[in-house]
Amino acid sequence: APGTVLITGTTSGVGLYATKSLVERGWRVITANRCSLRAEASASAVGLPTNSPRQLKHIQIDLGDLDSVRNGAKSLLEDLEKPLDALVCNAAVYLPRLKKPLRSPQGYEISMATNHFGHFLLIQMLLENLSKSSRPVWKGRSWGVESSRVVILGTVTANNKELGGKIPIPAPADLGNLSGFEEGFCDPISMASGKRFKPGKAYKDSKLCNMITTQELHRRFNSSPILFSSLYPGCVANTRLFRNTPKLFQWLFPWFQKLITGGFVSEALAGDRVAQVVSDPQFAISGVHWSWGNRQRKDRQQFSQELSDRVTDPVTSRKVWELSMRLVGLK
Ligand code: NDP
């Protein structure tokens, strides 16, 4: 039976279409956005119901602001009648043309703050609630309880086992020795590695942290009833994620992905893939990074994508976890 899912970043792109697919599958969807009105307008533009909070409800959380995450998660927990059955960490910013780092209210570089720290804190605050989920599932002969799921959007450019992860524009994802986190991650520091600010790399590093978080959650909560996975939904080259890239790039990139690499995936298909990872029984495996490959073929099946050492190394992972706990104010 479908349950209740919280998903971040649904005003456009993958998150909006994942919301659509999940509502159509009968899930109750709660969206978290920095502006609930825009979330509602986008949902309504793709035919989703308004004024039906049992099906679709919008709450306000700015993931770039840890206070907003804390307050938003707290009021959500107070309002929920039943535990959440799934959490999808989808929201992200990509700001490759910044000359200088933008800072969150806590003083952190904004792409790491939004994409990683906001989600990291949100997950920590919701874990206990998610572990109480008791979604019934028919197990052939009798009813059982379906595990709850935490699903995190990863990407090919943060995994240097894949070609897309090796591209040196501006540099592959790399957290170095994490001295940037260790030293508090505030001005003048802007990168996890403590090195010079590269805005495009800041995005990749934040997505690497997202994928490391998935692996570390899987390791730490192995015996909990929650399943943790990440996914690469394919190259959704026409979403608003690319709104801050040069106009020519925005025009060429989808064509390049359609005609040259064959990696292009529509927002609808990417959204549906997220919904599958949330709800389908084939995806009920913890610790997997799901992919459908970089060259799309019709009816291609998902597989467990091999991850680079930068994602799986347990020592780095533990360090990312501990430093993130400290930087979101939980330790
Ligand atoms: P979009 O820009 O279309 O969607 C991003 C969403 O995040 C928007 O709803 C945006 O809302 C929201 N968001 C941004 N900042 C915040 C914030 N501070 N608080 C709350 N919400 C926020 O991008 P995509 O759909 O392409 O990306 C979705 C996810 O998919 C990302 O995690 C991305 O890394 C991942 N991904 C995307 C790929 C692609 O090819 N597009 C490939 C691989 C992974 P707002 O309107 O407020 O800005």
92 Cα to the center of ligand 1, angstroms: 4
- Residue 30 contacts residue 6 (beta carbons within 8 Å): yes
- Residue 39 contacts residue 33 (beta carbons within 8 Å): yes
pLDDT at 295 over 90: no
> Rounded distance, CA 258 to CA 245, Å?
18
pLDDT for residue 95: 97
pLDDT for residue 122: 98
What is this model's ipTM? Answer: 0.99
pLDDT for residue 73: 98
pLDDT for residue 212: 98
31 Cα to the center of ligand 1, angstroms: 13
More confident residue, 124 or 165: 124
> Could you read off the pLDDT of 306-328 as tens digits, one per residue?
999 999 999 999 999 999 999 99
173 Cβ closer than 6 Å to some ligand 1 atom: no
217 Cα to the center of ligand 1, angstroms: 22
pLDDT for residue 297: 85
64 Cβ closer than 6 Å to some ligand 1 atom: yes
Pocket test for ligand 1, best of 35, 67, 90 (most atoms within 8 A of CB): 90
- Residue 21 contacts residue 51 (beta carbons within 8 Å): no
Residue 52 CB coordination number (10 Å): 11
Q: Which amino acid is at 129?
A: N
Q: Please, what's the largest Cα pairwise distance for the chain?
A: 61
Residue 106 CB coordination number (10 Å): 16
> Rounded distance, CA 90 to CA 152, Å?
6
Across the chain, mean pLDDT equals: 96
Give the model's confidence band at 1: pLDDT under 50 very low, under 70 low, under 90 confident, else very high: confident
> Could you read off the pLDDT of 22-45 as tens digits, one per residue?
999 999 999 999 999 999 999 999
- Residue 204 contacts residue 241 (beta carbons within 8 Å): no
- Residue 230 contacts residue 153 (beta carbons within 8 Å): yes
> What distances in angstroms separate CA 31 from CA 37, 41, 175, 220, one per listed residue?
11, 12, 30, 27
To the nearest whole percent, how much of the chain has pLDDT over 70? Answer: 100
pLDDT for residue 137: 85
> Rounded distance, CA 276 to CA 23, Å?
12
Protein residue whose Cα sits closest to atom 47 of ligand 1: 34
279 Cβ closer than 6 Å to some ligand 1 atom: no
130 Cβ closer than 6 Å to some ligand 1 atom: no
138 Cα to the center of ligand 1, angstroms: 34
186 Cα to the center of ligand 1, angstroms: 24
> Rounded distance, CA 242 to CA 238, Å?
7
> Mean of the pLDDT values across residues 214-241?
96
10 Cα to the center of ligand 1, angstroms: 8
> Could you read off the pLDDT of 176-204 as tens digits, one per residue?
999 999 999 999 999 999 999 999 999 99
pLDDT for residue 163: 86
> Mean of the pLDDT values across residues 140-146?
90
pLDDT at 89 over 90: yes
Least Cα distance to 230 among 249, 209, 260, 246 occurs for: 209
More confident residue, 207 or 138: 207
To the nearest whole percent, how much of the chain has pLDDT over 90? Answer: 88
42 Cβ closer than 6 Å to some ligand 1 atom: no
- H or E, element range at 311: helix 309-312
pLDDT for residue 300: 87
pLDDT at 150 over 90: yes
Protein residue whose Cα sits closest to atom 8 of ligand 1: 9
> What distances in angstroms separate CA 146 from CA 131, 137, 193, one per listed residue?
11, 6, 39
pLDDT for residue 330: 97
Q: Which atom of ligand 1 is nearest to the CA of 210?
A: 32
213 Cβ closer than 6 Å to some ligand 1 atom: no
